[in-house]
Amino acid sequence: MRTPVIAGNWKMNLLPAQAAALVNELKPLCAGANCDVVLCAPYINLPAAMAAAAGSNIKIGAQNCHWATEGAFTGEVSANMLRDIGVEYVLTGHSERRTLFGDTNETVRDRTRAGLDAGLTVILCVGEVLQERQQGITYEVVRLQTKVALEGVSAEELQRVIIAYEPVWAIGTGLTATAEQANEANKWVRDCVAELYGQAAADALVVQYGGSMNAANAAELLAKPDVDGGLIGGASLKAADFAAIAGAA
């Protein structure tokens, strides 16, 4: 039995006080959730979000980390720094990092490595762009992203990896993959992990779906056998919507 993980990705939204207020609003709403609840905040909001979440079942994550532990990387934040202030999760390979900020499969692999080395749980994002889906190469794209990102990750470390399948055409667009499409791609991710680590490890892996998941469509998506939770962007900024998704898990 996999425990579903519902993770919010606030992207570049909220001031620290607003982040704390949203966590405080969510705490009672998510207290009874039958899933793990994670909120990925902008770096500057992490201390406020963690302070507000203290003592609750809400865990806090960052949205990225650099691959080096320290050095001349102006403007960057290392996974060690995140861990040091008490952050538990980090996203790697989000499509906005890939498309807007030049992340490649290799830099995603290196960021994943850094997150694991620092003791974080990594939510690794994979997913095809619209053109790739139309070309019929979603399977190949998702496998390549998964395989490269997991290069050098041990079976033990895999226990601190969550994979979020996020079709890029569904992120922030209001277009959602059908539950069948989501389940099919999540299964491809799991099959790829089974090839690398064996079926038992793949069966234990949490594979989320992300892409315009909301209070109205969450239950249908989450009912699918290979959809073990969600990575939620827009709807994670509204307490009632995010709590409803957590409640559906």
- How far apart, in whole angstroms, are the C-alpha atoms of residue 176 and residue 172? 9
**What is the widest separation between alpha-carbon atoms in the chain?**
48
Q: Which is nearer to ligand PEP, 40 or 80 (CB)?
A: 40
Amino acid letter, residue 107 = T
Q: Specify whether the CB–CB gap between 10 and 45 falls below 8 A.
A: yes
Known active-site residue 66: no
**Residue 212 engages ligand PEP in binding (rule: CB under 6 A):** yes
Supply φ then ψ for residue 239, to 5 degrees. -55, -45
**Residue 119 engages ligand PEP in binding (rule: CB under 6 A):** no
Least distance (Å) between residue 64 CB and ligand PEP: 12
Instruction: Give residues with Cβ within 8 angstroms of 35, minimum separation 6.
Output: 3, 4, 5, 6, 229, 246, 249
Amino acid letter, residue 164 = A
Among 28, 119, 152, 172, binds ligand PEP (CB under 6 A): 172
Instruction: Give residues with Cβ within 8 angstroms of 112, minimum separation 6.
Output: 92, 93, 122, 124, 149, 150, 153, 161
Q: HSE of 167 in the Cβ direction (CA atoms, 13 Å)? A: 25
Catalytic residue among 70, 76, 94, 140: 94
**Residue 210 engages ligand PEP in binding (rule: CB under 6 A):** yes
Least distance (Å) between residue 71 CB and ligand PEP: 29
Known active-site residue 94: yes
Among 52, 193, 231, 239, binds ligand PEP (CB under 6 A): 231
Q: What residues numbered 27-66 form the site for ligand PEP, per CB under 6 A?
A: none
Q: Which is nearer to ligand PEP, 171 or 207 (CB)?
A: 171
**Residue 234 engages ligand PEP in binding (rule: CB under 6 A):** yes
Least distance (Å) between residue 10 CB and ligand PEP: 9
Least distance (Å) between residue 242 CB and ligand PEP: 10
Q: Which residues are catalytic?
A: 94, 166
